């Protein structure tokens, strides 16, 4: 099925933002994939079918879900509230189909910011459409004004999680650029990090090779950042292993 040879680098599909009929990808996502030993491939929104998503999942070794606009709450059974921002239905549809197929095949999925949210929605979880109006008491500042590479809030990490292993401990400081967040984790996903106000900052599947989402932006950290290197490194390594298995 897979066309990889033993020495080929894993081929990793990255979902871009959808802006006015343009597919736009911040290059730092692709740079981290390359730096970590993978080959990045951007996946545009062409209005393709779920069969197309299945074909992509069969060929690619991993899926990286980038940040971006809000998720249409129809995907977790809610009507839109006043605090909902821009939505991109074409992106929702494509990502939901890709995620479900990658997870079904047990191929690695790494979700960043919007990516943790769409991952959770795809697997049956719910989201806060707008944490500022839906969470009480008022949450911490999750839309930082500081430069993107500067971590502004603490997260407490669950002991025994993959994230704890990658972080090498149970506390980190991370950056924050979001107003939506995971509310109820999808069946099969564990919440593995929260901020002091209770907002979910990471989820993972304990039963898949690599299904993990983070609410922060590891790709915006500088190239030598320890936690970002650990996250992207583990993701790309899992993709490489996935390719080797598929060849057999
Ligand atoms: Mn945050």
Q: What is the pLDDT of residue 246?
A: 53
What is the CA(220)–ligand 1 centre distance, in A?
14
Is the pLDDT reported for residue 15 higher than 60? Answer: yes
Residue tagged 């992509």 (tokens):
56
Place 138 in a pLDDT band, splitting at 50, 70 and 90.
Answer: confident
For residue 29, pLDDT over 90 is answered with: yes
CA of 175 to the centre of ligand 1 (A): 7
Q: What is the pTM of this model?
A: 0.95
CA 243 – ligand 1 centroid, Å: 33
- For residues 122-134, give the mean pLDDT: 97
Tokens for 215? 């609410």
Catalytic residues: 113, 217, 219
Average pLDDT over residues 193-209: 97
Q: Give the pLDDT band of residue 244 (cuts 50, 70, 90).
A: low
94 Cα–ligand 1 center, Å = 25
pLDDT score at 44? 95
Q: Give me the residue label for tokens 């996935």.
A: 242
Domain boundaries 11-247, CATH class: alpha beta
Are 107 and 59 within 8 A, CB to CB? no
Phi/psi for 40 (5° steps) reads: -80, 145
Residue 116 Cα to ligand 1 middle (Å): 12
Percentage of the chain beyond pLDDT 70 is 95
State residue 183's pLDDT score. Answer: 98
Res. 241 pLDDT band, cuts 50 70 90: confident
> Domain residue spans in the chain?
11-247
| Residue 224 CB coordination number (10 Å) | 7
Q: How far is the CA of 154 from the centre of ligand 1 (A)?
A: 9
Task: Tell me what pLDDT residue 2 has.
Answer: 46
Mean pLDDT of 184-199: 97
Q: Does the pLDDT of residue 7 top 80, yes or no? A: no
Confidence of residue 248 (pLDDT cuts 50, 70, 90): very low
Residue 228 near residue 173 (C-beta atoms within 8 A): no
- Span 153-167, mean pLDDT? 98
Average pLDDT value for residue range 10-22 = 95
- Give mean pLDDT, residues 62-78: 98
Interval between CA 98 and ligand 1 midpoint (Å): 25
Q: 216 C-alpha vs ligand 1 centroid, how far in Å?
A: 6
C-alpha 177 to ligand 1 mean position (Å): 7
pLDDT in tens, 75-119: 999 999 999 999 999 999 999 999 999 999 999 999 999 999 999
pLDDT band at 137 (very low <50, low <70, confident <90, very high): confident
Q: What is the DSSP string of the chain?
A: -----TTSPPEEEEE-EEETTEEE--HHHHHHHHHTT-EEEE-------HHHHHHHHHH-SEEEE---SBPPGGGGT-PPPTT---B-HHHHHHHHHHHHHHHHTT--EEEETHHHHHHHHHTT--EES-HHHHSSSPP---B--S-TTS--EEEEEPTTSHHHHHHTSSEEEE--B-S-EESSPPTT-EEEEE-TT--EEEEE-SSSSSEEEESS-GGGS-TT-HHHHHHHHHHHHHHHHHHHHHH-
Contacts of 74 (CB under 8 A, 6+ apart): none
Q: What is the pLDDT of residue 243?
A: 62
- Identify the pLDDT of residue 136: 82
Average pLDDT over residues 69-75: 98
């Amino acid at each position: 099925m897979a066309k990889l040879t033993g020495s080929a680098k894993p081929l990793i599909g990255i979902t871009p933002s959808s802006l006015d009929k343009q597919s736009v990808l911040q290059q730092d996502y692709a740079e981290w994939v390359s730096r970590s030993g993978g080959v990045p491939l951007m996946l545009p929104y062409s209005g393709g079918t779920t069969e197309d998503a299945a074909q992509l999942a069969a060929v690619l070794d991993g899926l990286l879900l980038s940040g971006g606009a809000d998720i249409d709450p129809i995907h977790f059974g809610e009507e839109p509230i006043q605090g909902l921002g821009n939505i991109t239905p074409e992106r929702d549809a494509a990502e939901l189909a890709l995620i479900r197929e990658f997870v079904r095949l047990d191929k690695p999925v790494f979700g960043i910011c919007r990516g943790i949210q769409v991952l959770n929605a795809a697997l049956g979880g719910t989201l806060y459409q707008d944490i500022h109006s839906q969470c009480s008491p008022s949450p911490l500042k999750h839309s930082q004004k500081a430069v993107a590479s500067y971590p502004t809030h603490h997260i407490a990490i669950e002991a025994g999680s993959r994230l704890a292993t990658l972080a090498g401990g149970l506390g980190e400081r991370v950056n924050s650029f979001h107003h939506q967040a995971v509310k109820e984790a999808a069946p099969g996903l564990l919440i593995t990090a929260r901020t002091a106000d209770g907002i979910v900052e990471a989820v993972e599947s304990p039963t898949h090779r690599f299904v993990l989402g983070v609410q922060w932006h590891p790709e915006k950290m500088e190239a030598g950042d320890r936690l970002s290197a650990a996250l992207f490194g583990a993701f790309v390594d899992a993709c490489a292993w996935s390719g080797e298995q598929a060849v057999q």
